[in-house]
Amino acid sequence: MNTISNPFPLLIAVQSNHYRGLIDVLGKEYYVDISLPSTSLSHNNNNNKISLDTIRFDCDREFKQLLSPFEKTLENRLVQCKNINQFLFELQDIIERLITNQKQQQTATLTNSNTESFLLPFNVFNTVISELEIIGWNRILKIDRNVSKFSILLLDEKKREFIAEFSINEKYPDIEPNVKCLLPKSTHTSNSQKESKSTTSNTTSTGNNGIVVAGGSKKMITIISTIEKLEAKIKEYQEFFDIVEEIDAKTWVLEPENPKRSDVTRRIALKDSCSLLIEINPKSPKTFPVNCQFLGPEQAIDPLRKLLNQRFKEWSFSKGLLENLEYLMNIKFPLKENTRLEEFSVECGVCYSHRLYSPETNTHSIPNVVCKNHRCQKQFHQSCLYEWLKALPNPHYSFNIVYGKCPYCTDPISVSTILPNK
């Protein structure tokens, strides 16, 4: 009998290379008979490893169907097995993945059933269908069986794609549809714009994270008129889309990690350990950026900051944003065609990683706090430094700032306690 542990308690070792019995999968037991000819290991030239050609694995049809999606994975793992016990543990891992997938599917099914769209009244159903036929079924990317939720493809003049997600109220068209579409939104709003928004809160407005949200109004706003409104809004942002596409195509954008067309901020690599965070006004993208923030060793970024401040009046509307910035700072942005992203990756002095994942915001951040000691200049993720400082014996707080000593040089350092929520 084999003394190596067996992951399946109902599977009995008849011989050292032969198991027979039951395997429990998702609460149901399946009969299996697994054996390996005693001569196969000695005659196998692949470093005494087994394969599907040498092992005999008999089971009922239902269990085979369950394992069929993992057949290739199982075959690849068999190559690494030196005996039947290792094969059993590989089989256990496959079954655990099978159970996990099954649970995820059940959860997804339960979620979908709980959020399943309601049935629209017959007259509303007909109205929606009529409008969708006018729009064109080739533009409908997704639609539920009740026609109360669907996604429509929008294209701008340069064939850039935008997706509008609609949700129809049962009292449509007396109540306008809710629609979401990723469009840019500046974080800086003038007083006049705030007053304008306050008087039009029930019409199409720009929500958080650049999501256009409409709904709740008693006006007769149809699907078609909503699309026309969105297309007009997209047309307004053509210059902005051109500019961010140029930035994303030519330079190394450190943040966001995967920039969307709706993102108004970009952290652009300048040189080793240095970057520039800019925020672009989507309604006037050719103007000087709403915000410019340098990050890196002070002795490296201070000359660039001074040049930008001294020469910002030389900003030209006839030039592109990148061209203007290069001219004012007298530099050339590192281009993707002749540099690598790794050249600009800086490790955090606390966690020793470049990108830090935040499960709360489902985002990644890069080091954005720098020690001001010229001989140190270590960089830290804001959240890492905050956790480090507050764990010190006597951290000092003032308003939303925590003060302490640099983990490396012990010079004074501080960080905001308000972590960014992107």
pLDDT tens, position by position, 6-31: 677 888 888 777 888 888 776 778 88
The predicted structure's pLDDT at residue 228: 93
* DSSP string computed for 97-118: HHHHHHHHHHHHHHHHHHSPPP
8 Å CB contact between 305 and 298: no
**Which residue spans within 156-290 are E strands per DSSP?**
161-167, 178-182, 205-206, 211-214, 253-255, 265-271, 274-279
CB atoms < 10 A from the CB of 206, how many? 18
**Rg over CA atoms, the chain:** 30
- Decide whether 122-236 matches 241-341 in CATH topology: yes
Q: Report the distance separating Cα 276 and Cα 253, nearest Å.
A: 10
Q: Report the distance separating Cα 346 and Cα 296, nearest Å.
A: 10
Q: Report the distance separating Cα 51 and Cα 56, nearest Å.
A: 10
Q: Packing angle between helix 122-135 and helix 223-236, nearest 10 degrees?
A: 40
The CATH number given to 241-341 is 3.10.110.20
What CATH class has 356-416? alpha beta
Q: Report the distance separating Cα 389 and Cα 416, nearest Å.
A: 11
The predicted structure's pLDDT at residue 209: 40
> What proportion of the chain, given as a percentage, has pLDDT over 90?
26
Q: Report the distance separating Cα 137 and Cα 126, nearest Å.
A: 15
Domain range list for the chain? 11-114, 122-236, 241-341, 356-416
Intervals of the chain under pLDDT 70:
1-6, 26, 37-54, 69-83, 97-118, 186-220, 339-344, 361, 419-422
The predicted structure's pLDDT at residue 288: 93
CB atoms < 10 A from the CB of 417, how many? 14
Q: Packing angle between helix 71-78 and helix 84-114, nearest 10 degrees?
A: 150
Rounded alpha-carbon distances, angstroms, from residue 111 to 98, 117, 146, 155, 303: 20, 12, 17, 32, 55
Domain topology for 122-236: Ubiquitin Conjugating Enzyme (3.10.110)
